[in-house]
């Protein structure tokens, strides 16, 4: 993975070094910004979460609705992340290693979830599968419920988090080219062996990076899920939705306790991300 | 194993990369496909490997030892392919790179670990890399990588070894060393080999036989001797080494290279002479048949003496001669001399001219 280590190996030319005061100004500005908008909120969440003490925090987490929200969030991520991993690898493989008609269209479509507001993404599913949507009557006839139920939440999460893996892998695989695969082929390997022994090891750090981001987003997604979930307590509330409900009910202690879980997830994600970047620079 | 190519054509869209290629590669022979870039040589190599498919034309065929392999997929052809940029597996050690072809064999044919160990170690010493088995490709030099790529290809005991510009990415010194080494290696293992190159020196030095290609067609097939000394046409003559070109015309059955300017296009004649096939005579010495020229520069620093001259048509002529020869006639700049061609190749248009010629 060269996108991350190209920066660190770039020689800094003495003539390009700005004067000391400019350096200091830039550093102060970015650190202040970082402190105000990222570190401070994180601190607030953690202090608010534990303000009333450990027992209150534990009680807020152990409350049945909170547990249900955690369970649902984990379930959604457990379905969406592996699927997007497979889709992402397949799409990047196709785009990076082959030239085919419709390749640029596919490349653009992968970015669509990034370009569309999550709320709109959620609405698309409501329009498709909702009671008054295109497929609504048919679904109702067959007793299938997608909107205001778990399948809808999974679908909209899948949609919103689709680009993460593919976006990470396409530049990497394009840069690596397909010569190693051709070599493996000439040495007698079959398609699966080539993928498992050559392609996958070459992309594993990029893949892990993409999966980490995809996971963080699928657990934290609010907008799209909010539209399709219907906010049924203990049933269709994911962790972010549960936090919103608590907050709207002025139950700040519980809201912040649950929020601290998501914040912890963010920290774990960041740690994993740096670990992956560090590892990929090593190899 | 012998390889026969019959009526091979390949187009990429409107571009015709190969037209009507017929070729036979003898068993155990080392053949060079030589040509400028865009001549179709790599495409031809990839068709033999199966990495490219020839156009489906009537009578097209690809035979290994008399059996058609045109429909066999790459991974069943048992060809060893060495890529220009090595294409080593970057996440595997040198050892694992070489072992790859053995480890991916179907379970019934897969050798056990001990056999793989022995075989890889044997190959490592064959390519003189035994001490580097645990390195990763990124820790090796270009020449070392190329050797590993070769060992990896040999591990599957290929029926044919195909090398795509094997030394193209290496610097000059490593290149000539590896060239010699490849020749020696071929003399020990005797597997039918084809390598692609655009470097005539490389082809002349390494190959048993050379196939000269240009714009998707074969210009000449022959031993290095043949193609160098008896080029089939003007292209081969010019591609294989430096040449001086004298301009003339066809006049009443003779190719004429006297002082008169070029004639009309259809009667154009060219005389091609290699720099070492021109003799320099002082005008006063003899009355040989030759071309008048004036010495422009003399370069004596080198294994041969290089003399640059301007001929009567104001074109630069290069002559190479040994230092001893030069001492016999030590010409100086601005001196008027006569150039006597020793082995002129005369062409009328693109075709060889076998009639008389007048200088």
Search chain B and give the residue with CA nearest A199: B89
Q: Which residues, other chains included, contact B81 with Cβ-Cβ below 8 Å and sequence gap of 6+?
A: A182, A183, A186, B49, B51, B153, B162, B163, B164
Residue A86 three-state SS:
helix
Mean pLDDT of B227-249: 89
Average pLDDT value for residue range B76-94:
92
pLDDT value of residue A3: 44
Which strands form B291-299's sheet, in the order they lie side by side?
B278-282, B336-341, B291-299, B305-311, B316-321
Higher pLDDT, B159 or B254: B159
Based on the structure, what is the number of domains in chain B?
2
Measured between beta carbons, the chain A residues lying within 8 angstroms of B156 are: 187-188
My answer on whether B217 and B264 are in the same domain is: no
Last residue of a domain, one of B190, B223, B239: B239
Please name the member of B75, B80, B81 whose beta carbon is closest to the beta carbon of A189.
B75
Same-domain pairing of B99 and B202? yes
Model pTM score? 0.78
**For residues A77 and A216, what is the distance between their CA atoms, to the nearest angstrom?**
9
B271 plus B180 within the same structural domain: no
B contact test, residue of A183, A205, A207 with most B CBs within 10 A:
A183
Range of the domain at B70: 3-239
B295 plus B313 within the same structural domain: yes
From first to last of its 283 residues, chain A has per-residue pLDDT tens of: 344 444 444 556 777 777 888 889 999 999 999 999 888 988 888 888 888 888 888 888 888 888 999 999 999 999 999 999 999 999 999 898 888 888 889 888 888 998 889 899 889 888 888 878 788 888 888 888 888 888 889 999 999 999 999 999 999 999 998 899 999 999 999 989 999 999 999 998 899 989 989 998 999 898 899 988 888 887 888 999 999 999 999 988 889 999 998 888 888 888 888 888 888 776 6
Phi (first) and psi of residue B20, to 5 degrees: 45, 60
The domain that contains B197 carries what CATH number? 3.40.50.300
Dihedral Cα B287, B291, B293, B295, nearest 10 deg: -80
Local structure of B270: helix, strand or coil: strand
Instruction: Let me know whether B286 and B308 are in one domain.
Output: yes
Q: What is the band of B136 on the pLDDT scale with cuts at 50, 70, 90?
A: very high
Same-domain status, B234 and B248: no
Taking CA atoms, what residue in A is nearest to B99? A187
Q: Residue B138: closest CA among chain A residues belongs to which residue?
A: A283
Of B204, B224, B239, the position where a domain reaches its end is B239
Q: How many helices (H) and strands (E) does chain A have?
A: 16, 0
Do B87 and B223 lie in a common domain?
yes
Are B148 and B29 within one domain?
yes
Q: Is A53-282 CATH 1.10.3720.10?
A: yes
Query: pLDDT, tens digit, for every residue of B248-257?
Result: 888 777 788 8
With CA atoms as reference, the chain A residue closest to B137 would be A283
Let me know whether B204 and B263 are in one domain. no
Please list every residue in chain A whose beta carbon sits closer than 8 Å to the beta carbon of residue B51: 182, 185-186
User: Are residues B115 and B232 both part of a single domain?
Assistant: yes
In a shared domain, residues B119 and B186: yes
Domain boundary among B239, B263, B285: B239
Closest CB to A283: pick one of B80, B91, B103: B91
Q: Where are the domains of chain A?
A: 15-50, 53-282
Q: Please tell me the least confidently modeled range out of A165-169, B4-8, B138-142, B165-169.
A: B165-169
Q: Tell me, yes or no, whether B292 and B331 share the same domain.
A: yes
Tell me how close the Cα of B21 comes to any Cα of chain A, in angstroms.
23
Q: Any idea what the CATH number is for the domain that residue B308 is in?
A: 2.40.50.140
Interface predicted TM-score (ipTM) of this complex, two decimals: 0.81
């Amino acid at each position: 993975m060269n996108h991350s280590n190209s920066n660190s190996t770039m020689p800094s030319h003495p003539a390009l070094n700005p004067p000391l005061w400019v350096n200091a100004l830039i550093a102060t500005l970015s650190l202040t910004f970082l402190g105000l908008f990222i570190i401070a909120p994180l601190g607030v969440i953690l202090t608010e979460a534990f303000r009333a003490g450990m027992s209150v925090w534990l009680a807020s987490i152990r409350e049945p609705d909170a547990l249900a929200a955690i369970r649902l969030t984990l379930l959604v991520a457990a379905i969406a992340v592996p699927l997007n991993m497979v889709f992402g690898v397949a799409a990047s493989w196709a785009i990076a290693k082959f030239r085919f008609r419709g390749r640029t269209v596919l490349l653009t479509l992968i970015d669509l979830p990034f370009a569309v507001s999550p709320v709109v993404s959620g609405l698309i599913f409501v329009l498709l599968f909702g009671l008054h949507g295109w497929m609504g009557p048919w679904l109702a006839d067959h007793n299938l419920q997608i909107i205001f139920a778990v399948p809808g939440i999974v679908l909209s999460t899948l949609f919103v988090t689709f680009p993460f893996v593919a976006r990470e892998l396409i530049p990497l695989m394009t840069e690596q080219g397909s010569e190693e695969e051709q070599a493996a082929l000439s040495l007698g390997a079959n398609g699966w062996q080539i993928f498992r022994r050559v392609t996958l090891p070459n992309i594993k750090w990029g893949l892990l990076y993409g999966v980490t981001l995809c996971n963080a987003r699928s657990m934290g997604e609010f907008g799209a899920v909010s539209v399709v979930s219907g906010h049924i307590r203990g049933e269709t509330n994911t962790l972010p939705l549960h936090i919103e409900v608590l907050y709207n009910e002025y139950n700040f202690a519980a809201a912040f306790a649950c929020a601290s879980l998501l914040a912890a997830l963010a920290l774990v994600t960041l740690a994993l991300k740096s670990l992956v970047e560090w590892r990929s620079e090593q190899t | 194993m012998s390889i026969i190519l019959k009526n091979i054509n390949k187009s990429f869209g409107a571009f015709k990369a190969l037209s009507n290629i017929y070729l036979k590669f003898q068993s155990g022979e080392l053949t060079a496909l030589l040509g400028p870039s865009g001549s179709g040589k790599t495409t031809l190599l990839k068709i033999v490997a199966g990495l490219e498919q020839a156009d489906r034309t009537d009578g097209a065929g690809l035979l290994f030892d008399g059996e058609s392999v045109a429909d066999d997929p790459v991974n069943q052809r048992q060809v060893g392919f060495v890529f220009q940029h090595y294409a080593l597996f970057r996440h595997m050690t040198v050892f694992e790179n070489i072992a790859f072809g053995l480890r991916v064999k179907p379970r019934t044919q897969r050798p056990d670990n001990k056999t793989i160990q022995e075989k890889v170690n044997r190959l490592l010493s064959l390519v003189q890399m035994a001490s580097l088995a645990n390195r990763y490709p990124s820790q090796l030099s270009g020449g070392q990588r190329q050797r590993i790529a070769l060992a990896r290809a040999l591990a599957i005991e290929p029926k044919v070894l195909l090398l795509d510009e094997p030394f193209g990415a290496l610097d000059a010194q490593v290149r000539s060393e590896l060239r010699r080494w490849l020749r020696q290696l071929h003399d020990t293992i005797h597997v039918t080999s084809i390598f692609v190159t655009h470097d005539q020196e490389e082809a002349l030095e390494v190959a048993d036989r050379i196939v000269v290609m240009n714009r998707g067609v074969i210009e000449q097939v022959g031993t290095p001797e043949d193609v160098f000394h008896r080029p089939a046409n003007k292209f081969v003559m010019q591609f294989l080494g430096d040449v001086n070109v004298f301009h003339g015309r066809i006049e009443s059955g003779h190719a004429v290279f006297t002082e008169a300017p070029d004639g009309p296009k259809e009667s154009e004649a060219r005389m091609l002479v290699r720099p070492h096939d021109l003799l320099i005579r002082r005008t006063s010495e003899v009355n040989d048949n030759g071309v008048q020229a004036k010495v422009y520069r003399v370069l004596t620093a080198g294994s041969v003496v290089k003399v640059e001259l301007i001929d009567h048509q104001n074109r630069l002529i290069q002559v190479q001669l040994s230092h001893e020869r030069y001492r016999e006639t030590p010409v100086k700049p601005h001196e008027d001399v006569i150039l006597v061609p020793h082995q002129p190749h005369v062409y009328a248009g693109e075709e060889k001219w076998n009639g008389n010629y007048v200088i």
